[in-house]
Amino acid sequence: MSIKVGDNAPDFSLPAQNASTVSLRDFRNKQAVVLYFYPKDDTPGCTAESCAFRDQYEVFKAAGAEVIGISGDSSESHQKFVAKYNLPFTLLSDKGDQVRKLYGATTAFGFIPGRVTYVIDQKGVIQYIFDSMLDFKGHVEKSLKTLQELA
């Protein structure tokens, strides 16, 4: 199943790096969410993408959005990744890739978890999807542009 722009974002609950549980429904009618799926903590591409989100985090907050990253890594791995790169947003652990599958986030070369970003408005509707393994900063730039257009 693959979701598309205009669909309601599927709800989920996953463990975060700080041992809390985060549900998408917690943000509904409060703020937009930029949800990015990435392959693996502390790898070159994922570090570049996460640091690009970090560097623009205050701009996302000013645009009324929360940034949330999701990968199959453990909460402990996320905790180390957040500390090492001073990431100010939440990373969620999707063991078994259940939420990735729910969203239809692609895989690269048939086996590497893909890099896909979803911009979800306050009502829980998907407004934009960006799927690119190599355009790390594009995930940030295109998400910000979408949020600014929604404002």
CATH of 13-150, one of 2.30.29.30, 3.40.630.180, 3.40.30.10, 1.10.357.10: 3.40.30.10
What pLDDT, on a 0 to 100 scale, did the predictor assign at position 128?
A: 96
Domain boundaries, the chain: 13-150
Contact between residue 122 and residue 63 where contact means Cβ atoms under 8 Å apart: no
Q: How many helices (H) and strands (E) does the chain have?
A: 5, 9
What pLDDT, on a 0 to 100 scale, did the predictor assign at position 110?
A: 72
What pLDDT, on a 0 to 100 scale, did the predictor assign at position 1?
A: 55
Contact between residue 76 and residue 44 where contact means Cβ atoms under 8 Å apart: no
Q: Of 22, 34, 46, 67, which residue is the catalytic one? A: 46
What pLDDT, on a 0 to 100 scale, did the predictor assign at position 33?
A: 98
Backbone angles phi, psi at 134, to 5 degrees: -110, -20
* Chain centroid to CA 125: 15
Q: 19-72 pLDDT, tens per residue?
A: 899 999 999 999 999 999 999 999 999 999 999 999 999 999 999 999 999 999
What pLDDT, on a 0 to 100 scale, did the predictor assign at position 113?
A: 84
Q: What is the rounded average pLDDT of the residues 75-96?
A: 96
Q: Which helix (H) or strand (E) holds 107?
A: strand 107-108
Predicted TM-score (pTM) of the model is 0.95
Cα–Cα dist 75/18, whole Å: 7
Please indicate whether residue 46 is annotated as part of the active site. yes
